[in-house]
Structure 1
């Protein structure tokens, strides 16, 4: 395809990665960001072999590994009897796969630093209100009356609350999930939890507490962990009203060993309330506008796939543009490349979530009595590891990628 002029709406990980892929292929990009200073939002995330492969293909593997923490196991117990209700080990799969827990700021900084070093244009303080197609070009309407363009292609990477998606004829129905979570990023004392595991505690399906060691996003920052507490979004204001000490006492009641983390929290401002919604665009492009990442599909974080799916989206889009001379053929190829993988993991996330975040005592009862047995019976360990890895179906070939060689990977074992 001839070089295109492309607008990338949103300077989050998906938008930054899209700009890197596309400029490397010879296209010109403008990144348009609504805020005056692009910045990450949220606490922590898990990069799976899928997302890590994308970053490796951009040459960013060493940087992100230096800022994160290797995870080999996801482990959870229910609070009453201590039964195992989550036990996923990457080692159940051959090839040496693992996850990498990182602060969201580490992922953002890794991509943003590369974009800045390559001097990609970033236009800040520009809230995009809509896309206008005139002939064979597109223009962006900006709050305040300005407009930007012309562009050959517009990529919406503005996230789950995308205004462009809401205004699109392709807008999907949205199901807001009742449960969200409070997240905090805190210093992680040695010996608090297994540094190579995401560790969780449950009370039925209505209470979930987790500790995820995320490493040090900068050399001058101590090793950290993300602490999260699942709760109904509608009850968050009442929880705050009752006071921080009461909330901390609830966590102590379930998990006293979290005290070194809790004593670092002195203000509600240290906690971020994450809200989640489930939606999937059946056709993630319209005209010359294409949607990637959470703008195209979002769900609960139960399987930890969000950022990884976004990175796969932009890799697949860049590959489709490289493989086709016609823009609309390329966008159709992008949809085909991602359809099965996206829909499968959206379905799996929707299916698993009620067992871990819901009001259903029955589903929690089933989970507590069956999981400990099932996870030990082949091929269940391999299937669960493939689900968490994001590789239950191959997402790489369709995106023009080859999975990284994990046995030669640079991620050290946690100390």
Structure 2
């Protein structure tokens, strides 16, 4: 039987939902709390590489992902005027029977995972804020804003970059800005967009887009980080459209379709990595709570879901929750994640420095790493 009989999960993102699904499949009682009022209510698009698709198949949602998303196996490079420079076959890191990449709406993915978890008996409470945790030798007591107080064998903190769980544990981790900000918009997909194309010239460090379904895409522009917090939604839309005027080809249609201020957002690239064990007693951190990286390699969600896979596998195979289990978890996750985080940050550093570097070599190295099962 699994090393735990009941688990609390804090956070309803891809890491928390993946862990909840896998543990529920193993017969563990799972209680998941999410601060947002609705899972999948916000977000633009997400790029899922093959190793993420491999996990989604394990979670039992691959068929729906394939139906709702847009699969492709080639990455395009263009100039700012729209000229195609290269069409590069992308590595099928999830195996030959899965596409190299799928783009889909982030809210769609979240809802698929939440529905799957609910079918398996996971108790999901949204709009619920954790307020206190108390550790005992044989369990963890979690108190929440809805007045509930429950004791579990293990608590999984999968609550993102600004993790409440991490703070409650007293774990010190500095999240470092990388000097870049990204504009993202979710909109209509022109017929000419069938894959991700990237542009590395023009006023933005990167101009790109990814199809997310039969008629949708998300587009993004990466600039030097600025304080854009004072802009109204309309001003954010205007600013992104103005930056996009330097780009042509499919960008001309994309830019014209950007008309809804609610579908534009701006965030900074950040990074952190908890260097060492990710657990404290009977609480463990996974996903962005312990590692985050810029989206330059599109591996953030994949690494988060891999954390859940490895953790659930170890918990399901063990009889007790002991240091041997935690040592195995650290051994299987820390250096793999470190390689991905470091490479993602390295790409940012090269772009900021306008440095000519072996980007294809770095991408091949990471593709080879993540092709291997975690």
Name the TM-score class by shorter chain.
Answer: 0.7 to 0.9
Q: SS at 2:212's partner residue?
A: strand
Residues 25/34 of structure 1: CA separation in 2 closer, same or farther (3 Å cut) = same
Between 339-348 and 296-305, report the one with greater CA deviation: 339-348
- Structure 2: runs of 5 or more not aligned: none
Match of 2:52 in 1: 51
Residue 18 of structure 1 and its aligned partner are, at CA, apart by 1.0
Q: TM-score, normalised by structure 1?
A: 0.80
Separation of aligned partners in 2, 1:290 and 1:340: 17
Q: TM-score, normalised by structure 2?
A: 0.88
Residue 276 of structure 1 and its aligned partner are, at CA, apart by 2.8
Describe the superposition over 1:56-96 as per-residue Cα deviations: whole angstroms up to 9, x where unpaired. 12222111111111121223345489695x86422598946
Separation of aligned partners in 2, 1:11 and 1:53: 20
Separation of aligned partners in 1, 2:183 and 2:213: 20
Residues 254/263 of structure 1: CA separation in 2 closer, same or farther (3 Å cut) = closer
Describe the superposition over 1:182-221 as per-residue Cα deviations: whole angstroms up to 9, x where unpaired. 1111111212x3x1x21122236853211111114xxxxx
Q: SS at 2:266's partner residue?
A: strand
Separation of aligned partners in 2, 1:332 and 1:345: 20
Contact 1:178 1:233 in 2 (8 A): yes
Match of 2:254 in 1: 261
1:90-101 correspondence runs (5 A): 90=90, 95=96, 98-101=100-103
Contact 2:4 2:154 in 1 (8 A): no
Contact 1:69 1:214 in 2 (8 A): yes
Q: SS at 1:37's partner residue?
A: coil
Contact 1:205 1:354 in 2 (8 A): no
Match of 1:409 in 2: none
Contact 2:40 2:109 in 1 (8 A): no
Match of 2:200 in 1: 202
Match of 1:323 in 2: 317
Residues 273/65 of structure 1: CA separation in 2 closer, same or farther (3 Å cut) = same
Describe the superposition over 1:286-320 as per-residue Cα deviations: whole angstroms up to 9, x where unpaired. 11111111111001110000111111110000111
Between 322-331 and 146-155, report the one with greater CA deviation: 322-331
Separation of aligned partners in 2, 1:92 and 1:24: 27
Residue 149 of structure 1 and its aligned partner are, at CA, apart by 1.4
1:2-401 correspondence runs (5 A): 2-79=3-80, 84=85, 88-90=88-90, 95=96, 98-143=100-145, 146-191=147-192, 193=193, 195=194, 197-203=195-201, 206-216=204-214, 223-237=215-229, 244-245=237-238, 247-255=240-248, 257-282=250-275, 283-328=277-322, 329-356=324-351, 358=352, 360-361=353-354, 363=355, 366-367=356-357, 375=360, 380=361, 384-385=363-364, 387=366, 389=367, 391-392=368-369, 395-396=372-373, 398=374
Separation of aligned partners in 1, 2:170 and 2:238: 47
Residue 104 of structure 1 and its aligned partner are, at CA, apart by 0.5
Separation of aligned partners in 1, 2:370 and 2:241: 41
Residue 245 of structure 1 and its aligned partner are, at CA, apart by 4.3
Between 250-259 and 67-76, report the one with greater CA deviation: 250-259
Between 88-97 and 161-170, report the one with greater CA deviation: 88-97
Q: How many residues align?
A: 368
Residues 21/247 of structure 1: CA separation in 2 closer, same or farther (3 Å cut) = closer
Contact 1:170 1:284 in 2 (8 A): no
Residue 271 of structure 1 and its aligned partner are, at CA, apart by 0.1
Between 103-112 and 166-175, report the one with greater CA deviation: 166-175
Residue 267 of structure 1 and its aligned partner are, at CA, apart by 4.3
Q: SS at 1:236's partner residue?
A: coil
Q: After TM superposition, where is structure 1 displaced by more than 4 Å over at least 4 residues in a row?
A: 80-84, 91-94, 237-247
Describe the superposition over 1:235-294 as per-residue Cα deviations: whole angstroms up to 9, x where unpaired. 425776967446424312222542322222234322022333111112211111111111
Residues 130/206 of structure 1: CA separation in 2 closer, same or farther (3 Å cut) = farther
